[in-house]
Amino acid sequence: MNVGSASQRGVTLIELLVCVALVAVLASLAMPSVITYIKQDRINSSVHHLNSVYQFARSEAVKREKPIKLVKNNTQWDVTIVENQQAMVLRTFTIEHESIRVQLVDREIRSTGELNQVSNILVTDNDNSTLDYRLCILRSGQSWISEAAENCV
C-alpha cells in the first residue's frame, strides 16, 4: 500500500471548463452556416415540390385527354379537373413554411400538355443569404428550374 503516492486519474474542473468553452465557441461559429443551410433547403424543397405538382398536372391532362386547371387558392395551387360538370381537386401544392413566398398564378393545361400562357413563378424567402429560384414553364409545357437572377425567357 502506497500512501501519498497514488497516481491521479480523471480531469480537473478547470480542464473540463476549458473543453466546454472550446466546444461552445466552435458551435457558435458553425451555427450561422447551419441556419443558412436549413433556409436554403426550404427553398429547394419548395421549388422541387412545385415542379412535381406541375409535372403531375401536365401528365394527368395528357393521360385523361382533358384540360387541367392550376388554380391559385390563397397560398395553395390546386390541380383541378372538371368531370361530370363538377370540379375535382386531384392534388394540391401547399407552401410548407411561413418564410417561403411563391408567386402562384392560375393556368390551364390543355389535353396536349400545352399551357395557355407562359409562366415564370418565383420561389423566395426574401433573405439575401439564400439563393432564390424560378419555375419556368413554356407554352409548349416544358418546364425547368433556374436561379431567380436568370430570367426564364
pLDDT of residue 2: 57
Please determine, for residue 150, whether its predicted confidence score (pLDDT) is greater than 90.
Answer: no
Spell out the domain ranges in the chain: 13-147
Interval 86-126: pLDDT, tens: 889 999 998 888 889 999 999 999 999 999 899 999 999 98
Q: Out of 3.30.420.40, 2.60.40.420, 3.55.40.10, 2.40.50.140, which CATH number does the structure's domain 13-147 have? A: 3.55.40.10
- Half-sphere exposure for 99 (CA within 13 Å, toward CB): 14
Please determine, for residue 136, whether its predicted confidence score (pLDDT) is greater than 80.
Answer: yes
Closest CA to 135 of 125, 149, 120: 120
What is d(CA 17, CA 31) in angstroms, rounded to the nearest whole number?
A: 21
Interval 119-133: pLDDT, tens: 999 999 988 889 999
User: Can you tell me whether residue 21 is helix, strand or coil?
Assistant: helix
Output 67 or 149, whichever has higher pLDDT.
Answer: 67
